Amino acid sequence: MLGSDIEEVGWPACGEIDIMEYVGKTPHEIHTTLHTPSSFGQSINTNVETLENIEEGFHVYKTNWSKDAIQFYIDNQLVYTFSPEEKDKKNYPFNKPFFIILNMAIGGNFGGPDVDDSVFPQEFIIDYVKVYQ
């Protein structure tokens, strides 16, 4: 998710909430990460869960997001809570509208520049997305 003010303030000032990231070169790992201006966009506000069967079947990735904290869940298990002591624009740029991005990123800085084309084609299947207010 990205702050809806990205066009005005840029990244990472807009804030980014990565509810779930999976990198093919590191199987069984799910990343939950927040990018803020105080972290200069680096992945210091993060958690990595190793789940041996995560590639099998569907899973539920959930975020409870409030003015004070963001909690991340995988299959209803709390895996990470982000709640900095000081909640200003630099540490907690999350008290504003955001928009959802669902994408399959290939290569790049996070996935790495070397892509093994033999793994293609792949499927990116999403059963549902729910947003509550």
Digit-coded pLDDT (tens) for 90-108 = 999 999 999 999 988 888 8
The set of catalytic residues is: 16, 21
Domains observed in the chain: 2-105 (2.60.120.200)
Confidence bin at 43 (pLDDT 50/70/90): confident
The pLDDT of residue 65 is above 90: yes
- Measured torsion, CA atoms of residues 45, 14, 89, 36, in degrees rounded to the nearest 10: 20
State how far Cα 61 lies from the chain centre.
10
Closest CA to 94 of 21, 133, 29, 37: 37
